[in-house]
Amino acid sequence: MPVGPFDQQTSNRIRGEARPRPSAHTFSGRDVLATGYDDYLLWVPDYDPTVDWHAEFATLLQERMTVEIRYTSLYGERTWTARWPASGRAADEPDLGGWSQYENE
């Protein structure tokens, strides 16, 4: 079920009542990310999969969540979508670390 842009309201809904609460980076509808942006959208400090609530967090990311990012070239000529986890990657496509990417028509 799509939840919309990754803003504070959406982040709060995704994190629900988890205790302790995962941290999140959120975006407004007009954010522009610098090349090489390398922060997590959701994270827990000192992640340890043997800790019960960390394992629940891993389940959220691995089994219950899909991330789709839609973006436009700086000049507006082309639009792209990236999706994690990848869906239907063709054999001749490069491995993008679990992401799939395609140009929108």
User: pLDDT 10s digit of each residue in the chain, 105 long?
Assistant: 667 778 888 888 888 777 778 888 888 777 777 778 888 888 888 888 788 878 888 887 777 778 877 777 778 788 888 887 766 555 555 555 666 666 776
pTM of the complete model beyond 0.85? no
DSSP secondary structure of 27-60: --TT--PPTT----SEE-TT--TTSHHHHHHHHH
Q: Which residues of 23-46 are buried (b: 16+ CB within 10 A; e: fewer)?
A: ebeeeeeeeeeeeeeeeebbebee
Domain boundaries, the chain: 1-29+37-65, 67-105
